[in-house]
Structure 1
């Protein structure tokens, strides 16, 4: 019989404990078909394939949609800038082009038509002056001269028509009172021709001005009130 209090013989397969530290056995791998055992307290858990490693102590996990360093997130009510959009405060270089200057040939051509258009009264000269005054120096000068002449012609025509009407009325009334009925027709025809005198002068001066400007020379009307400087 053996004494139960007697010391047991040492196992030859057991490694001796050095430096007084308890021996640690390596973790056993789970057999096929068994669930893996959870790690012991204090041991790091190895991430499985396809899983993200959890952040270390003191690190903040990255948030989805987090702005890079140095960029401020858009405030409430503001839309984020699109790709390719210019930031605020930079000048916009794609501006609408203005009216192109006229070539010397076109400059002279429209200056000529500003005088020839006076045959049809004030409207052609006014349109040419407003459209081309900033596109050529010659057309601006000649269209302004022609427009001033047309304004002068309009004022003179109205005044002349009033004067002719008054004179014709006085003469015809006097002839009726004197009994000279035979001469009334001739006097009426004379006053009718005189009423066309401003239109005839306008026709002559407008043609002369157009011909002069066509040859490259500026033209000045003999009598012209230059309202437009």
Structure 2
């Protein structure tokens, strides 16, 4: 008895690259304020119609960066009671690592889901 598996369609090389760019566009936040939100938003808006994989990963990247921005805001407010100083570093390092992982997975053609992510953009 052999079971037939449905073929898994791998996104095209171009779609994988644009999906990766959606995630890595968040690094614009290192260049100018709110670049971590604007970068993924712009890339997603420009390329979401070209491929469903790019649309999915663009939404995922944008949702994660919105979550990170909210977490950073909370950390900033908590700086008044000192704990925010430590938490802001933890959130920053976690965001950096997870963004790199997501970009690599997207380039491999695998849909990545960020942990602890608010999915506000659907």
TM-score between the two structures when normalised by the length of structure 2: 0.78
Moved over 6 A (4+): none
Q: 1:146 aligns with which of 61, 77, 80?
A: 61
Q: Identify the residue that residue 89 of structure 1 maps to in structure 2.
A: none
Aligned residues of 1:111 and 1:138 also touching (Cα < 8 A) = yes
List per-residue Cα deviations over 1:183-202 (Å, max 9, x = no partner): xxxxxxx8644332221111
Larger radius of gyration: 1
Unaligned runs of 5+ in 1: 1-102, 169-189
Unaligned runs of 5+ in 2: 1-10, 29-35
Helix, strand or coil at the partner of 1:116: helix
> RMSD in angstroms over aligned alpha carbons?
1.8
Query: With CA pairs under 8 Å and 6+ residues apart, which has the higher RCO, 1 or 2?
Result: 2
Q: Identify the residue that residue 214 of structure 1 maps to in structure 2.
A: 107
TM-score between the two structures when normalised by the length of structure 1: 0.43
Q: Identify the residue that residue 137 of structure 1 maps to in structure 2.
A: 52
Aligned residues of 1:118 and 1:203 also touching (Cα < 8 A) = no
Superposed, 1:1-229 pairs within 5 Å as: 104-120=12-28, 121-163=36-78, 165-168=79-82, 192-229=85-122
